[in-house]
Amino acid sequence: MKSPVVKRSIVIAGHKTSVSLEDAFWEALKEIAGGRRMTLSDLVATIDSARTQGNLSSAIRLFVLDYYRGVALSARGSANNERLGVASPPVA
């Protein structure tokens, strides 16, 4: 059986490294980078510089999870505000 984890090479701060992630995480990471008008390498470098422990693959998975949790909470808050007739705060 083929593993769903895909290993890819990426350049971070001028050095090449490999990262193993499932396709869904690669796609999500590309989507987030595009939304922030960043390259994938720049986004991964940001994640790498902010991590305090664990490996880079784990840090990326946790970053993607946190990002989409934030999106879900924002959407839930907007839906609640609409139901109550309250204006939603602008999204940065």
Contact yes or no for 20/9 (Cβ under 8 A): no
What pLDDT digit, counting tens, does each position of 33-60 carry?
Answer: 999 999 999 999 999 999 988 899 999 9
Over residues 72-79, mean pLDDT = 77
b or e along 17-44 (b: 16 or more beta carbons within 10 Å of the residue's beta carbon)? eebebeeebbebbeebbeeeeeebeebb
Question: What pTM, to 2 d.p., does this model score?
Answer: 0.78
